[in-house]
């Protein structure tokens, strides 16, 4: 059952193919052509520079060599060991960031007093380059996975906490008033009104935190670690194996795009449902 | 059933501004089973008065009692509220919105769907149970909000400008429907409105309010039974009452505008 019945009041939901939709379609195709063109131009310049030996293959690999190395890399079981290490570190970091971020952001968003207390602190801390905490993480937690988890968890915590706080604070007060008038207590108000209403904003924070978190894990592995995609990237660069290094960059990019893309898609789906 | 006794409300002024006296010395009773309309110019404190009856705020002075007990917090088992801006949850379906109200009120899970559908049928929207609010017109959203309030099955219903955001035609049609529905219930209803026709068409008694600080200026009985048909709107009694209210409110609105002018002039000096 939907609102499309006889005399249905609204066709927006059906996403009609009106003139406006067609115009949007053309714009999107044009934008895509420009984007693809720009990417093609960069690859062409890359190819020209390396094939013509203007740039040493020690620094920039030839594209066919990169393609071969990447194809070999993704067939190598060892690769998935490193991807798995990074993914596990990222997953643990996100669990910490989500848990701590919601634990701080949700109460701060629900109580005006707590929010006024916590918001300046959060924003001030977020403005500090958190990279500075990395040597401390190594010092406290060693060179293994724990230091990466802590570092990335710290990085991802801030967007999650700040967005949870803002999302909850700016929930339509009319909805809150209506729920309270119908008898909603604090618990039902939180799970049935505040969290669902703030969910799109919270998800934006999670997406920002996740992308930052994954990059932080990789950066942490690069700066000092034993395994993981970041460490492999750092090692291959040091060994001047440029094709291998760029293949690891590709692997990392794919991971970032998977995480960011999935969360963007979720965000859009949620936005459309409203 | 609802009693306001010498009620005053003062909002503390923000950032160096003077305190705002929204209501002064309001004494008014709504009898059991009565449909009372609060009519007044915008900013006269009529919505504040409704918020007091809903238990959503407390008076600065005086006493608000419902069923003999002082209102300190919302009482969802006794009082349901329909808000001007519908306040539907956009992430829930139409039927889900009504079920949410029942969940908040404490109705057992198993009984919610059937009851929600019953009230959706009453407002003629059972075909839209699975739609989301975004897909509905303003009039349909307001009918969902009314169904949500009715489904709580409270003896008292408060409505804050429920048709305020709708166009004239939708208002009339919805007003008729509401009149039919309310003729079949024995609810005590308090309606806040600034529409003369709406107040006369729907209510048993009209309390006319004066501007800031809001006070009850006069209460007037509407000499007609329920349910009312559109014929009532063309009757002589309707027009007489409308003319009378118009003169009363016209003076009131002029006075309220002049008061604002004087206050501004004083602030300048």
| B135 contacts A2? CB cut-off 8 A | yes
Residue of A3, A13, A175 with shortest CB distance to B87: A175
State the pLDDT at residue B29. Answer: 92
| A3 contacts B128? CB cut-off 8 A | yes
pLDDT in tens, A62-120: 999 999 999 999 999 999 999 999 999 999 999 999 999 999 999 999 988 999 999 99
State the pLDDT at residue B269. Answer: 64
Confidence bin at A151 (pLDDT 50/70/90): very high
- Domain extents in chain B: 2-78+162-268, 86-153
Architecture, CATH, for domain B2-78+162-268: 3-Layer(aba) Sandwich (3.40)
Among all residues of chain B, which has the CA nearest to that of A269?
B91
| B136 contacts A197? CB cut-off 8 A | no
d(CA A61, CA A64): 8
pLDDT in tens, A253-269: 999 999 999 999 998 88
Q: B-chain residues within 8 Å CB-CB of A177?
A: 56, 83, 87
How many CB pairs below 8 Å do chains A and B form together? 85
Q: Which of B165, B160, B239 minimizes the C-alpha distance to B193?
A: B160
Burial class (CB in 10 A: 0-12, 13-18, 19+), B234: exposed
Instruction: Tell me if residue B87 falls in helix, strand or coil.
Output: coil
Mean pLDDT of B194-211: 89
Reply yes or no on whether the pLDDT at A11 is more than 60. no
State the pLDDT at residue A82. Answer: 95
Please check whether residue B106 is in contact with residue B44, taking contact to mean a CB–CB distance below 8 angstroms: no
Average pLDDT along chain B: 87
Residue of B104, B128, B137 with shortest CB distance to A179: B104
* CA–CA min distance B267, chain A (Å): 32
State the pLDDT at residue A8. Answer: 38
B234: which residues sit within 8 A by CB, 6+ positions away? none
Among B29-43, B170-184, B192-206, which is the least confidently predicted range? Answer: B170-184
**What ipTM goes with this model?**
0.85
Mean pLDDT of A52-58: 85
Confidence bin at B84 (pLDDT 50/70/90): confident
State the pLDDT at residue B122. Answer: 86
Restricting to B residues 161-200, those with a Cβ less than 8 Å away from any Cβ of A are none
Burial class (CB in 10 A: 0-12, 13-18, 19+), A144: middle
What token pair was written down for A107?
Answer: 């109460």
> Could you tell me which residue, A274 or A85, shows the higher pLDDT?
A85
A152-186: b (≥16 Cβ within 10 Å) or e:
bbbbbbbbbbbbbbbbbbebeeebbbbbbbbbbee
State the pLDDT at residue B102. Answer: 94
Q: Does B221 touch chain A (CB under 8 A)?
A: no
| B83 contacts A177? CB cut-off 8 A | yes
Confidence bin at A18 (pLDDT 50/70/90): very low
> Could you tell me which residue, B166 or B21, shows the higher pLDDT?
B21
| A188 contacts B56? CB cut-off 8 A | no
Q: Give me the sign of the Cα torsion angle B44, B48, B50, B52.
A: negative
Please check whether residue B188 is in contact with residue B155, taking contact to mean a CB–CB distance below 8 angstroms: yes
Mean pLDDT of B21-50: 88
Q: Does B101 touch chain A (CB under 8 A)?
A: yes
Residue of B105, B127, B140 with shortest CB distance to A183: B105
Among all residues of chain A, which has the CA nearest to that of B136?
A9
Reply yes or no on whether the pLDDT at A21 is more than 70. no
Q: A-chain residues within 8 Å CB-CB of B135?
A: 2-3, 8-10, 12-13
Q: Does B144 touch chain A (CB under 8 A)?
A: no
Average pLDDT along chain A: 88
pTM of the model: 0.80
Reply yes or no on whether the pLDDT at A179 is more than 90. yes
């Amino acid at each position: 059952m939907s609102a499309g019945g006889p005399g249905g009041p609204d066709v927006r939901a059906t996403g009609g193919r009106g003139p406006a939709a067609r115009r949007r379609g053309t714009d999107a195709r044009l934008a895509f052509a420009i984007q693809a063109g720009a990417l093609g131009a960069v690859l062409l310049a890359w190819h020209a520079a390396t094939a013509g030996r203007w740039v040493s293959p020690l620094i920039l690999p030839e594209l066919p060599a990169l393609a071969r190395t990447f194809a070999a890399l993704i067939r190598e079981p060892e690769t998935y060991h490193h991807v798995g290490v990074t993914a596990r570190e990222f997953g643990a970091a996100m669990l910490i960031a989500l848990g701590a971020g919601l634990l701080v952001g949700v109460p701060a968003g629900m109580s005006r007093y707590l929010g006024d207390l916590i918001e300046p602190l959060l924003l001030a801390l977020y403005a500090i380059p958190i990279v500075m905490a990395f040597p401390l993480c190594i010092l406290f937690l060693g060179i293994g996975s724990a230091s990466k988890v802590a570092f990335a968890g710290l990085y991802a915590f801030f967007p999650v906490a700040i967005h949870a706080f803002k999302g909850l604070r700016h929930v339509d007060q009319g909805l809150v008033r209506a729920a309270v008038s119908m008898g909603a207590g604090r618990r039902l108000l939180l799970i049935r009104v505040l969290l669902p209403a703030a969910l799109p904003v919270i998800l934006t924070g999670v997406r920002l935190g996740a992308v930052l978190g994954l990059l932080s894990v990789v950066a942490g592995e690069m700066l000092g670690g034993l395994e993981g995609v970041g460490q492999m990237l750092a090692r291959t660069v040091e060994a001047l194996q440029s094709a291998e290094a760029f293949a690891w960059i590709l692997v990392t990019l794919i991971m970032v795009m998977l995480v960011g893309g999935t969360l963007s898609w979720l965000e859009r789906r949620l936005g459309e449902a409203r | 059933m609802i009693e306001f006794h010498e009620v005053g409300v003062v909002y503390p002024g923000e950032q160096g501004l003077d305190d705002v006296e929204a209501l002064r010395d309001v004494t008014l009773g709504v009898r059991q089973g009565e449909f009372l309309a609060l009519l007044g110019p915008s900013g006269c404190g009529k919505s504040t008065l409704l918020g007091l009856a809903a238990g959503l705020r407390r008076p600065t002075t005086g006493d608000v009692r419902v069923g003999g007990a002082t209102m300190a917090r919302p009482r969802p088992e006794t009082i349901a509220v329909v808000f001007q801006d519908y306040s539907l949850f956009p992430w829930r379906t139409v039927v889900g919105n009504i079920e949410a109200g029942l969940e908040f009120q404490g109705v057992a899970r198993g009984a919610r769907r059937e009851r929600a559908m019953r009230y959706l049928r009453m407002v003629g929207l059972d075909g839209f149970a699975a739609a989301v609010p975004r897909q509905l017109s303003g009039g349909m959203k307001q009918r969902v909000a009314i169904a949500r309030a009715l489904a709580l099955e409270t003896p008292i219903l408060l409505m804050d400008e429920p048709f305020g955001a709708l166009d004239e035609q939708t208002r009339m049609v919805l007003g008729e429907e509401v009149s039919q529905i309310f003729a079949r219930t024995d609810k005590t209803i308090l309606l806040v409105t600034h529409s003369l026709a709406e107040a006369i068409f729907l209510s048993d008694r009209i309390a006319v309010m004066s501007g800031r600080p809001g006070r009850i200026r006069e209460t007037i009985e509407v000499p007609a039974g329920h349910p009312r048909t559109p014929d009532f709107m063309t009757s002589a009694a309707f027009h007489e009452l409308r003319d009378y209210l118009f003169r009363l409110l016209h003076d009131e609105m002029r006075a309220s505008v002049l008061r604002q002018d004087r206050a501004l002039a004083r602030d300048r000096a």
